Amino acid sequence: MARMIPHYQHLPAVQLRLGAFLSSILDLSYIQEDAALYAELSEAFALLEPTLLQWAISDNDDQAQMAQSILLYTGKDASEQFFLQEWQDTSNSSSCRGYAAFSLSNFYFLREQSEKILHTYSVAIANEANEFVRFVMAAQLVLLTGAEAQDAWLMELLAALANQDVLDQDFDDMVPFVGEFDNVQEYILAVFGKSRPDFLENNISPIIDELTAMPALKQVNYLRIIADAIFPDENALKDITPIRRKVLLAAADIVAQHPGFINLLEVLRTYGLPQEAYQLRQLAG
């Protein structure tokens, strides 16, 4: 099917529908399990790369994203250069550059070249003026290095937390990479949870202060992410640090606001926390 696309240049609508279908196939999580078949599939796209690179800069956002998605999986050196240029071009919008930065990270990850992400972004982030692009690079570096993440990258994420309202609009355009997260804050908290929860624990107090003012479902999402960092195992409840006490008291206030809220009770149950406001306050001490 990939080999057929060049033959339909006289019918652009057919080309786009074929491309969209192939993009959905490549997105399947198990598509690479049969390495030989996947290699053959990728090779079938070789002659298509120039066409996809043209589509990737289309004014039609759906067409551009579809082409870039295919290039992530099947692109060669020209595709790598395309993502690099889109990310580095300061005349592009924040959203465009951030999307390219996410794409480049995935491009390297899929080819088991993660060291290129580390080398490229760790050098560039210090001189990047765009706040959203710095946030994207910092997140990728922290996810890549986990517990070894540098303080400077984590501080960049904390700065993004403080300015989330400025970043959220661009973040909305990153759905293919961050689909399950509704906003910058949720995404950053999850990134911290996968890297250095201790760093988050020492700097999360302002977010906890905001919990009781959030809508109910948002409270549940944030409480889950915070609890994952603050209560990593059952032993955490035996050592009620000041920040853990603060979380427990905030949880008690939320339970009092929404007694019997199933989603909230499930989060508390998951982390072995009491499900009544009084008990939470007693545990906090």
pLDDT in tens, 131-154: 999 999 999 999 999 999 999 999
The confidence score (pLDDT) of residue 278 equals 94
Residue that terminates a domain, selected from 196, 226, 243: 196
| Alpha-carbon distances of 92 from 58, 61, 88, 100, 188, rounded to whole Å | 14, 14, 9, 10, 24
Which amino acid, 245?
A: R
Residue that terminates a domain, selected from 152, 176, 196: 196
d(Cα 41, Cα 26) in Å, to the nearest integer?
9
Based on the domain organization, do 31 and 66 belong to the same domain?
yes
Based on the domain organization, do 83 and 160 belong to the same domain?
yes
CA angle 48, 51, 57 (to 5 degrees): 135
The overall pTM is greater than 0.85: no
The confidence score (pLDDT) of residue 33 equals 83
Based on the domain organization, do 49 and 92 belong to the same domain?
no
Tell me the pLDDT band of 276, cut-offs 50, 70 and 90: very high
Residue that terminates a domain, selected from 147, 168, 196: 196
HSE of 39 in the Cβ direction (CA atoms, 13 Å)? 3
Domain membership of residue 134 as a residue range? 79-196
Based on the domain organization, do 33 and 132 belong to the same domain?
no
Cβ neighbors of 87 (< 8 A, separation 6 or more) are: 97, 100, 101, 103, 104, 133
Q: What would the two tokens of residue 277 be?
A: 């406001």
Cβ neighbors of 35 (< 8 A, separation 6 or more) are: none
Percent of the chain topping pLDDT 90: 46
The confidence score (pLDDT) of residue 162 equals 66
The confidence score (pLDDT) of residue 266 equals 93
Based on the domain organization, do 168 and 231 belong to the same domain?
no
pLDDT tens figures, 9-23: 788 888 888 888 888
Q: How many domains does the chain have?
A: 3
The confidence score (pLDDT) of residue 40 equals 82
Based on the domain organization, do 34 and 60 belong to the same domain?
yes
Based on the domain organization, do 63 and 85 belong to the same domain?
no
Based on the domain organization, do 67 and 90 belong to the same domain?
no
Based on the domain organization, do 188 and 138 belong to the same domain?
yes
